[in-house]
Amino acid sequence: MSFQNHEIYQADTVVIGAGVIGLAVAAALAGKQAAGGYVGRERPDIWLLEKESLIGSITSSRNSEVIHAGIYYPQGSLKARLCVQGKHRLYEFCKQHDVPHRRCGKVIVATQPCDEEKLAGIQARARLNGVCDLEFLDRGALQQSEPDLKAVAGLSSPSTGIVDSHALMQVLLAKFEALGGNLVLNTPVQRLAQSGRGWSLSLGGVHPCRLQCRQVINCAGLDARKLLQGLTRADGHDFGSLHYAKGCYMAYQGRVPFKRLVYPVPEPGGLGIHLTLDMGGQARFGPDVQWIEQPEYSLPDTLGEKFFQAIRQYWPTVDPERLVPAYAGVRPKVNGEHGSSADFQVEGPSIHGLANLFNLIGIESPGLTSSLALADYVCSLAEEESA
C-alpha cells in the first residue's frame, strides 16, 4: 500500500509505529475486528504506519531477545502483570506459529556476600508476582551446575527463555495482513491534530498527504512523546518528553561454557551486564546503562575494558580478546537518571482527556516479553474508552 500526494484518506484506526508493540496491537485489533465479521473488506480499516523502510528496525531489533520471567517488577504494576501473562502467551504463540524460541532458563548470581540478600529480595518479589519456580542455589549447588561461574550463591529461573524477535514480528505482520490490515512503510506521522472526536494526521515521506481517522494508537517507541508535541491534555499540561538510556552490547567470539543465561544482580536503570545467547548459541554481553540526550547508537572505545571488568566478576576466565563491539539499543525512560524506575504508561482518554487517543509510553524491558499481553490490554482499554 502507498499513498498519493496531497490526497486525504480515511481510516477507522491508525496504529503508529511497526515495532513489536505496534505489530502486536495492530494484529490484536484486526483479530477483534475479524471476530466482528470484518474479514475481506475491500478497504481495511486498520492502518499501521511506520516511518522506516522496514518493520521493527528500531528498539525491537536492538535488545536481548530474552523472554523474561517477570520477577523484578513491583507487585500489581503493568510491567509485572503483563510480563508474566505475556511470557505464557509468548511461549504458546511461538509454539503455535513455529517462532524459534528456547526455554533455556537463567541464573542470577551474587558475586559478593552482600548480594545474597538481594537474591532473597528478588525471590520474594517474584513470588508476589506469581512466579514461584525460582530456586535458590548455594555456593555448592551453583558450583555443581555451573562450574565456570564464580559466585557465592545464585537464583535459578527456569521459565526464562529466548526468542527470535524478527521471526515473531514477521508472524505478527502476516496475521495482521491476513486479517485485512494495512501496513504502510516509509511514512512518518508528522503531526497529530484533533478533528471533531477523531484525528487528522499529517503524513510525510515521498507522498505527503493527510489521513483522517476515528482512533489513534501511538506505539512510536522512542518518539511516542515527540509525536504529541503541540497537543494539550485536558488539564492544560503538555505531554512532556521522554528520557533515554543507551545500552551497548559486545559479542563473544567462540563458545561459552554456559547453556543458560547468566545475570548479575540488577543495577540502577538496567539488569546489569549479563550473558545472553541467541538462537544459534552465539553469546553476547550487555547491555550497560548510559544516559543520553537523544537516541544514538555509537559504541564507545572504552567498552571492552568496562565489560571485561564487569564479566570477570562472575566469569573469571572470560577472554577479553574475544569480546567484540556488537550493537546498542536505547531504552525509552519515563523518568531521568535520578528519578525512580517507572511502570509502562498506557494513557487513554480517562488519563489525558483527548477522545480516541491511546499512548503507549516508556515501553522498555520487558516490552518484548509483554507484547501480546500488552496488545490485549490496549484493545480492551480502547473498547472501554472509545467514543
Minimal distance, residue 294 CB to ligand FAD, in Å: 14
As measured in angstroms, the least distance from the Cβ of 353 to ligand FAD is 22
- Kindly tell me which of 50 and 116 has the beta carbon lying closer to ligand FAD: 50
State in angstroms the smallest separation of the CB of 51 from ligand FAD: 4
Work out how close the CB of 82 gets to ligand FAD at its nearest, in angstroms, rounded to a whole number.
Answer: 10
Give the residues lining the site for ligand FAD (CB under 6 A): 16-22, 49-52, 56-60, 62-66, 68, 188-189, 219-223, 227, 247, 287, 329-331, 363-369
C-alpha–C-alpha distance, residues 26 and 13, integer Å: 9
Measured from the CB of residue 138, what is the shortest distance to ligand FAD in angstroms? 28
Residue whose CB is less far from ligand FAD, 323 or 373? 373
User: How many whole angstroms separate alpha carbon 356 and alpha carbon 11?
Assistant: 13
Specify whether the CB–CB gap between 378 and 360 falls below 8 A. yes
Could you count the other beta carbons within 10 Å of the beta carbon of residue 376? 18
Nearer to ligand FAD, 216 or 354 (CB): 216
Nearer to ligand FAD (CB atom), residue 44 or residue 247: 247
The alpha carbon of 85 is separated from its chain's Cα centroid by a whole number of angstroms, namely 14
**Residue with Cβ nearer ligand FAD (59 or 156):** 59
Instruction: Calculate helix-pair angle for 367-385, 20-35, nearest 10 degrees.
Output: 40
d(CA 262, CA 151): 11
Shortest reach from residue 347's CB to ligand FAD, in Å: 14
d(CA 232, CA 352): 9
Q: Which is nearer to ligand FAD, 45 or 50 (CB)?
A: 50
Whether residue 362 contacts residue 327, with contact meaning beta carbons closer than 8 Å, is answered with no
- The distance of closest approach from Cβ of residue 187 to ligand FAD in the complex, given in angstroms and rounded to an integer, is 6
Nearer to ligand FAD, 153 or 249 (CB): 249
Beta strand pairing call for 106-110 and 261-264: parallel
Name which of 349 and 366 has its Cβ closer to ligand FAD: 366
The DSSP annotation for 72-128 comes to: SSPTTSHHHHHHHHHHHHHHHHHHHHT--EE---EEEEE-SHHHHHHHHHHHHHHHH
Contacts of residues 126-132 at CB distance under 8 Å and 24 or more positions apart, as own/partner, are 126/69, 126/70, 126/71, 126/72, 126/157, 128/75, 129/70, 129/71, 129/73, 129/75, 129/80, 129/81, 129/83, 129/84, 130/70, 130/84, 131/69, 131/70, 131/71, 131/84, 131/157, 131/159
**Rounded to whole angstroms, how far apart are CA atoms 367 and 361?**
11
CB–CB of 275/262 below 8 Å?
Answer: yes
> Nearest-CB residue to ligand FAD?
367
Smallest distance from ligand FAD to CB 63, Å: 3
Q: Kindly state the smallest distance separating residue 125's Cβ from ligand FAD, in Å.
A: 17
* Residue 360 to residue 217: CA distance in whole angstroms: 8
**51 vs 214, beta carbon nearer ligand FAD:** 51
